[in-house]
Amino acid sequence: MLLTLFAFLLALGLLVTFHELGHYWVARRAGVPIVRFSVGFGPILLRRHDRHGTEWALSAIPLGGYVKMLDEAPPGADEATRRAVFNAQPLARRAAVVAAGPAANLILAALIYAFLGLWGMQEPAAVLAAPPAGTPAAAAGVRDGDTLTAVGGEPVASWTQARWQLAEPLSLGGTVSLALTSPDGALREETLRLDPQPVTPDGPDPVRASGLVLRAPYPVAGELVPGGAAEQSGLRAGDRILAAGDLEHPSVEDFVRIIQAHPGQPLRLLVERQGAQVSLSVTPRPEAGEDGRPVGRIGALIQAERPEVLVRLGPLDSVWHGVQRTADMSLFTLRMMGRMVLGDVSWKNVTGPVTIAEYAGRTARLGLESYLGFLALISISIGVLNLLPIPMLDGGHLLFYLIEALRGGRPLSGHARDLGQRLGLGLVLGLMVLALFNDFSRLFSG
Kindly list the catalytic residues. Answer: 20
Give the single-character DSSP code of 94: H
| 356 φ, ψ (degrees, to nearest 5) | -60, -40
137 Cα distance to chain centroid: 25
Rounded distance between C-alpha atoms, residue 333 and residue 105, angstroms = 14
Burial of 396: CB neighbours in 10 Å, binned 0-12, 13-18, 19+: buried
Q: Write down how long the chain is.
A: 446
Rounded distance between C-alpha atoms, residue 426 and residue 277, angstroms = 67
How many of the other CB atoms lie within 10 Å of CB of 339?
Answer: 16
The answer to whether the beta carbons of residues 242 and 272 sit under 8 Å apart is yes
Rounded distance between C-alpha atoms, residue 373 and residue 386, angstroms = 20
The DSSP-derived string for 30-60 is TT--EEEEEEEEEEEEEEEE-TTSPEEEEEE
Rounded distance between C-alpha atoms, residue 75 and residue 374, angstroms = 47
Any idea of the CA torsion for 69, 71, 73, 79, to the nearest 10 degrees?
A: 80
Rounded distance between C-alpha atoms, residue 146 and residue 131, angstroms = 11
The answer to whether the beta carbons of residues 239 and 271 sit under 8 Å apart is yes
Picking from 259, 256, 215, 230, the residue whose alpha carbon sits closest to that of residue 125 is 215
- The pairing of beta strand 285-288 with beta strand 267-273: unpaired
Picking from 138, 180, 182, the residue whose alpha carbon sits closest to that of residue 162 is 180
Rounded distance between C-alpha atoms, residue 125 and residue 441, angstroms = 35
Residues 403, 407, 409, 415, CA torsion sign: negative
The answer to whether the beta carbons of residues 128 and 144 sit under 8 Å apart is yes
